[in-house]
Chains A and B, each alone.
Chain A
């Protein structure tokens, strides 16, 4: 029985890996970043139950780490795939961490003494990390990684502080990329998504990047998170104080034919959740959500939306704001919009704006065919919704189509079952 490869260590990939491994099938879990966990690790709470995201994710991550049938290939990328269903030859590059993972204990002393500061990807640039870093405290594997692009030793041949202070003597500047070839029966791609945060519409129309107090929803998720840069305090970028009111704008860079016609399917509930979190953290902050259609389609979602309105007093305005203008003195933001329920044009001032930015999949496009909608193609959207048209390759999670955590988990299990059939048939 051949192993199965799962590419992408987010919640969808984790679920697929666990379901395969529990059947006794060997799994290689390939992850591009230093740690598995994916987007869900960045979230503070989950909708509609407001469960702590880390608290339900990290036990699964630990399970993956401890599973005898799962081999995590973190900080690695798939280079090449040859062969066919049941017998793929996959070339994987293990990028050099410059840290000997067999020695590193994850104590974090190196991070303390590293002088080079870099915007922290995990906190979406809201805070800084060091050039040697562990992305977040619950990282799996809990090993340090040197970011050679910002490391003083690699850039200027100075420093070597981490080597000096590492109690385990785990630093190894001589590491080279290591290519390995693996023979697997099936490959499951679960490469996830990123925000469409680079479009000019964001900057031109909504001033993201120009105005200090305009955030994307993922940034806000970190801001409101207890493990985030402010420890869950909602503080404005411009003056580090609590805003009096916050506006959420839905469907930014999504459902927009100029950029991305798709509905991202998560932002309605994500914004409702974030709005509720604001009211829970600071009941005096007023929250307004500008929406066009509230898509509360999942189990418990409609109730969640109703609670937001009735229990938490969140104001919903049916409108897509046209522009945001910053008051140069106060750094407050004036939103120009038409309330479409009353047909009135308004200019309203907010102290913070959160944009529910649309998503695009991270597509491994040399390995899976991509549809016109930017997402990975599937063989049959009704009867084989996780299979790529390429036999033996499966596409799940956000790569497959926009979806929330429960649906991603479902697809993880579904693809695990499909892949296990191939694994069992193989010799």
Chain B
């Protein structure tokens, strides 16, 4: 429900902005409610798809920014199929997610990653920074044996990683604070929940939704997509874990055998590659409804995830093949891709990994939605 507390400022041009972000059907919608009623999530919780589109038509910017509904959606496409006006509610949900990502970001900086020219420019800038960094800090390039550690010393890599981690955490704290602010005003106004509920809902969502994606599985006939997504998520988790193990072992001198993080990393890499390639094929096929209209933010994430995954694999392959130069080159490329991925993470599609659980969390705490 629209919050009653103050006059909601209106932004007449809101729907046009969202149309530019891919929600091209907004103005066609005649509010019949088929989308809400056909949504498989509706059976268990309030998924106000139609109401969301109404808010866009009315230009209720604050209400749109504070509504967690779009994050409940995983774009099965049933609404697109049944919409009598071909208003593509699924794509509108996607556009709202982008709009929220942009508006939650510091100085709306995320805009950069939704514009082809700026995105390319940002790649160039990041490449230059990355190359300068690598050139400045690289060590000796031993060519008779593969010695990554002397090419780029792991202490430097760890320091760079810590800096990037700190960057991501600081930026994300600001972004989540923005999200909280908007959401509180729209759906949580005047509501308070006991700490216990916050905690219990947090763990419920973390385990059921973030780690096991239970909602994506609940739809029959969509298990292929489920496993691909699980592959990507656990790919990222395991790769992060591998890096963490390596770092902790090195920093505290625990002497964990090199093979442990490597195996964890390889398993994660396989998951990431499997999921990434699955989505790449689907997006090229354009058959599945969610993959029909891919735009920059979809390709960006795929490109960076697959780029890091594939280059990482090649590094491992060349290392075992004892091809020093190739290993170093691909190691450099790999580091660049990881650099792009991390720097753009709080602004790109990857951020749904954080926003979605938070949106579910806010919705379940304030609106009492059963997750």
* Chain B associates with chain A: yes
A contact residues vs B (CB 8 Å cutoff):
205, 251, 255-258, 292-293, 318-323, 336-340, 343, 345
A338 in contact with B86 given A292-B31, A345-B46 (CB within 8 Å): no
Specify the chain A residue showing the minimal Cβ separation from B46. A345
A251 in contact with B36 given A340-B31, A340-B50 (CB within 8 Å): no
Give the residue among A258, A321, A323, A338 with the most B Cβ atoms within 10 A. A338
Could you name 7 residue pairs across A and B whose Cβ atoms are closer than 8 Å?
A257-B85, A257-B86, A258-B86, A319-B37, A322-B82, A338-B34, A338-B36
Say whether B48 contacts A322, CB under 8 Å. Answer: no
Report Cα–Cα, A258/B81, bound state, in Å: 10
Instruction: Say yes or no: is B170 at the interface (Cβ < 8 Å to chain A).
Output: no
Given contacts A322-B34, A338-B50, 13 further A-B contacts (CB under 8 A): A251-B84, A256-B85, A257-B28, A257-B84, A257-B85, A319-B32, A319-B33, A320-B34, A320-B84, A322-B36, A323-B38, A338-B37, A340-B31
Interface residue from A255, A256, A338 paired with B33 (Cβ < 8 Å): A338
Say whether B33 contacts A337, CB under 8 Å. Answer: yes
Contacts of B200 in A (CB 8 A): none
Contacts of A321 in B (CB 8 A): 34, 37
Annotate B17-61 by CB proximity to A: 1 below 8 A, 0 otherwise: 000000000001011111111100010001110110000000000
A292 in contact with B46 given A323-B38, A337-B37 (CB within 8 Å): no
Report Cα–Cα, A206/B352, bound state, in Å: 36
Annotate B97-127 by CB proximity to A: 1 below 8 A, 0 otherwise: 0000000000000000000000000000000
Contacts of B38 in A (CB 8 A): 322-323, 336
Report Cα–Cα, A318/B33, bound state, in Å: 9
Specify the chain B residue showing the minimal Cβ separation from A291. B32
Give the tally of cross-chain contacts (CB within 8 A).
Answer: 63
Interface residue from B28, B30, B32, B37 paired with A345 (Cβ < 8 Å): B37
Instruction: Say yes or no: is B195 at the interface (Cβ < 8 Å to chain A).
Output: no
Chain B interface residue count, Cβ-Cβ cutoff 8 angstroms = 21
Say whether A340 contacts B84, CB under 8 Å. Answer: no
Specify the chain A residue showing the minimal Cβ separation from B38. A322
Contacts of A320 in B (CB 8 A): 32-34, 84
Chain B's nearest CB lies how many Å from the CB of A223?
27
Say whether B37 contacts A322, CB under 8 Å. Answer: yes
Report Cα–Cα, A205/B34, bound state, in Å: 11
Report Cα–Cα, A320/B38, bound state, in Å: 11
A256 in contact with B84 given A320-B32, A343-B48 (CB within 8 Å): yes
Contacts of A338 in B (CB 8 A): 33-34, 36-37, 42, 50
Interface residue from B32, B42, B48 paired with A292 (Cβ < 8 Å): B32
Contacts of A318 in B (CB 8 A): 33
B contact residues vs A (CB 8 Å cutoff):
1, 28, 30-38, 42, 46-48, 50-51, 82, 84-86
Contacts of B31 in A (CB 8 A): 292, 340
Contacts of A292 in B (CB 8 A): 30-32
Contacts of B1 in A (CB 8 A): 343
Contacts of A205 in B (CB 8 A): 82
Contacts of A343 in B (CB 8 A): 1, 36, 46, 48, 50-51
Report Cα–Cα, A9/B28, bound state, in Å: 39
Interface residue from A255, A256, A293, A345 paired with B36 (Cβ < 8 Å): A345
Chain A's nearest CB lies how many Å from the CB of B368?
15
Specify the chain A residue showing the minimal Cβ separation from B82. A322
Chain B's nearest CB lies how many Å from the CB of A205?
7
Say whether B32 contacts A340, CB under 8 Å. Answer: yes
Chain A's nearest CB lies how many Å from the CB of B85?
6
Contacts of A255 in B (CB 8 A): 30, 84
Give the residue among A258, A339, A340, A345 with the most B Cβ atoms within 10 A. A345
Contacts of B84 in A (CB 8 A): 251, 255-258, 320
Chain A's nearest CB lies how many Å from the CB of B73?
15
Contacts of B30 in A (CB 8 A): 255, 292-293
Say whether A340 contacts B86, CB under 8 Å. Answer: no
Which 9 A-B residue pairings sit nearest by Cβ, starting from the closest? A322-B37, A320-B32, A338-B33, A256-B84, A338-B36, A322-B38, A340-B33, A345-B42, A338-B37
Report Cα–Cα, A337/B33, bound state, in Å: 7
Give the residue among B34, B35, B47 with the most A Cβ atoms within 10 A. B34
Report Cα–Cα, A336/B82, bound state, in Å: 13
Contacts of A293 in B (CB 8 A): 30
Specify the chain A residue showing the minimal Cβ separation from B44. A345
Report Cα–Cα, A343/B39, bound state, in Å: 14
Chain A's nearest CB lies how many Å from the CB of B58?
14
Contacts of B48 in A (CB 8 A): 343
Contacts of A340 in B (CB 8 A): 31-33, 50
Contacts of A319 in B (CB 8 A): 32-33, 37
Chain A's nearest CB lies how many Å from the CB of B330?
49
Contacts of B33 in A (CB 8 A): 318-320, 322, 337-340
Specify the chain A residue showing the minimal Cβ separation from B48. A343
Contacts of B37 in A (CB 8 A): 319, 321-323, 336-338, 345
Report Cα–Cα, A318/B50, bound state, in Å: 13
Report Cα–Cα, A325/B175, bound state, in Å: 43
Chain B's nearest CB lies how many Å from the CB of A184?
43
Chain A's nearest CB lies how many Å from the CB of B29?
11
Chain B's nearest CB lies how many Å from the CB of A349?
15
Report Cα–Cα, A333/B308, bound state, in Å: 53
Chain A's nearest CB lies how many Å from the CB of B336?
46
Specify the chain A residue showing the minimal Cβ separation from B41. A345
Report Cα–Cα, A347/B84, bound state, in Å: 20
Chain A's nearest CB lies how many Å from the CB of B337?
42
Chain A's nearest CB lies how many Å from the CB of B361?
22
Contacts of B34 in A (CB 8 A): 320-322, 338
